[in-house]
Amino acid sequence: LPVVSRFLLISSYLASYNPVKSDLKLFFTGNEADRSKRGKSRGRKPKPGQEIIKKTRQELLGPKPFSLQRLFAIFYAILDQEGYQNFYQIDSIQQVGALINFYDFNSNKIDSIKFKCNLSLEHVLKICKSLNGFDLTSRIWEIDD
């Protein structure tokens, strides 16, 4: 696969398995990340006798749908972090055109399309190795060590 396609697959995996609220923290630096710190509510301690609800890891629940806009936001953030700024000249819509070219969509409907990435973590890690050891673990919201 071409480098751009591999980064698109990684971006789609991250969009499927990371919550939307984690995007600023995981993919953006500087002013964008500082904005996410505003308005955060503090966690409350459970009262005595109150049941603590455990959250299930997203990997066990399966992929969540994501929008094309979110995919490209993560994709461009990763390219920028990895030093692939010259890929900005590529028309990324053509790169994912194979995913949506068999549908007949109006321009209004393209924003409402939701995608899911069904790649396993093992496959994505193999793709990361082929990209000179791309560090996926620092970009996954929930990871077990």
Give the pLDDT confidence of 32-87 residue by residue, as tens digits: 444 444 444 455 555 565 554 555 555 667 889 998 888 888 888 888 888 876 66
Residues linked to residue 67 through DSSP beta bridges, in sequence order: 114
- On whether the CB atoms of residues 106 and 113 are closer than 8 A, the answer is no
Q: Which of helix, strand or coil describes residue 7?
A: helix
Query: DSSP label at 39?
Result: T
Question: In which domain, by residue range, is 74 found?
Answer: 3-30+58-139
Query: Is 9 among the domain residues?
Result: yes
Query: Is 15 among the domain residues?
Result: yes
Distances (CA, A) of 49 to 43, 45, 52, 54, 55: 17, 12, 9, 15, 19
pTM over 0.75: no
Query: Is 45 among the domain residues?
Result: no
Query: Is 49 among the domain residues?
Result: no
Query: Is 42 among the domain residues?
Result: no
Total tally of structural domains belonging to the chain: 1
Query: DSSP label at 60?
Result: H
